[in-house]
Amino acid sequence: MSKIQLNNPVLNGNEKKYLLQCIKSNWLSGSGSFVKKFEEKITKFTKAKYSTAIINGTSALQLAIRLVGCKPNDEIIVPTITFIAPINAVIYNFCHPIFMDSDNYFNIDENKCIDFILKETFYKNGNTYNKKTRKKISAIIVVHVWGNAANMVNLIKLCKQRNIKVIEDASESLGTFYKDRHKKQHTGLVGDIGCISFNTNKVITCGSGGMIITNNKNYYLQSRYLSTQAKNNEIYYIHNSTGYNFRLNNLNAAVGLAQIEKINFFLKKKKKLFNYYRKVINHNNFYLMDTPQYSLNNNWMNILKFSNKKILLNDLINLFQKNNVQVRPIWFLNHKQKMFRNYQNYNISNAQKLLKNSLCLPSGADLNDFHINKIIRLLNKI
């Protein structure tokens, strides 16, 4: 029997057609027509003013940190629960992370962030500084984990007062919109700049790809300039800044364009899967993590929570693996990663609990009732 994967891509649209058109045109670079069309589709769908296609989500984050003005030796507030990419992006910019706890939706804890800024920093000459390290805190990265929109209304207000830029890692949250409080804004557009990933496990994929979205024209222009090696004169190769080779190529964009054409189909499948899981997981020891009520969420990943302390995470994982079902724990806490242990962390407690009693369930748009029923049967064996 074939293995049930955690999050398979579904390539049943115009992917092959567009790839063949791209190959026949012999135009494979980042200046190809599919890159422009893909950017336009993302701009329209998210209702952003500007979009810049990047080679992957990590590079988009690395560039975004530079775009908002972070300098070497600055500090950036980050969540301890997230894929490691945004933390690495901080290090790539020679900045220092400050790790924060998570709320019950796995997102950065807004209240603890506010508490830290009010109690552990001071404001001087238009900037916020860490009382402990005396370093400038120039930004915060808010990750919308599992596609769930982060609660950040009051945090954004405080960050504006303290000149702390808000970078949104919307890698997992394409299709997640805030409701009334942000006038149905897409994640990534509430703060200063947002980053999306099109990795193979995301709602839509390019194979590998990312996008910077923003309503700030200067960030947009700089993102296009810096992502194409900062060319000031393309004929004589004049470069007035240090840039990056970060532009998405035409082949990946062709796949992305075919995928975004079916975004509403994928979101409906994800919603249906979430509702089915929620309906059938009614065991006393387990429940499906709910999504925030203040947003319309894309249901990218479904998280199984277990309340019985006698249930061990490793036992669950082993059971599923023996039965050809791919599951995984949530990411190991970043403030405990070997290379990040010496950086500051603040009042982290809830994240440790989430690590012990949470499991990522298969959540691909290719799953059907047969797959889900097999997963439920395995849960009932516990």
DSSP code string of 183-252: TSPBTTSSSSEEEEE-BTTSSS--BS-EEEEES-HHHHHHHHHHHBTTEEETTTTEESS---B-BPPHHH
CATH 3.90.1150.10 segments of the chain? 263-380
pLDDT at 21: 96
What average pLDDT does this structure show over 184-208? 96
Rounded distance, CA 358 to CA 378, Å? Answer: 16
Separation of alpha carbons 378 and 382, rounded Å: 7
- What CATH class is the domain 15-260? alpha beta
Residue 74: left (phi > 0), alpha (psi -120 to 50), or beta?
beta
At 228-240, the pLDDT tens digits run: 999 999 899 999 9
For the chain, what is the mean pLDDT? Answer: 95
- Measured CA to CA in angstroms, residue 155 lies from 141, 180, 278, 297, 378 at distances of 12, 17, 31, 20, 41
Chain centroid, CA 21 distance in Å = 31
Q: Which residue has the higher pLDDT, 149 or 310?
A: 149
DSSP 29-75: STTSHHHHHHHHHHHHHHT-SEEEEES-HHHHHHHHHHHTT--TT-E
Residue 26 has pLDDT above 80, yes or no: yes
Angle at 278 between CA 272 and CA 284, to 5 degrees: 165
Confidence of residue 285 (pLDDT cuts 50, 70, 90): confident
DSSP 362: P
Token reading at 38: 């893909």
Q: How confident is the model at residue 182 (pLDDT cuts 50, 70, 90)?
A: low
Mean pLDDT of 242-256: 97
Quick one: average pLDDT of 120-125?
Answer: 98
Question: CA-to-CA distance for 372 and 321, rounded, in angstroms?
Answer: 15
Q: Residue 122 has which token pair?
A: 């001071």
CATH of region 263-380, choose from 1.10.10.10, 3.90.1150.10, 3.30.300.160, 3.40.640.10: 3.90.1150.10
Domain boundaries for CATH 3.40.640.10 within the chain: 15-260
**Which tokens is 354 given?**
């989430």
* Stated pTM of the model: 0.96
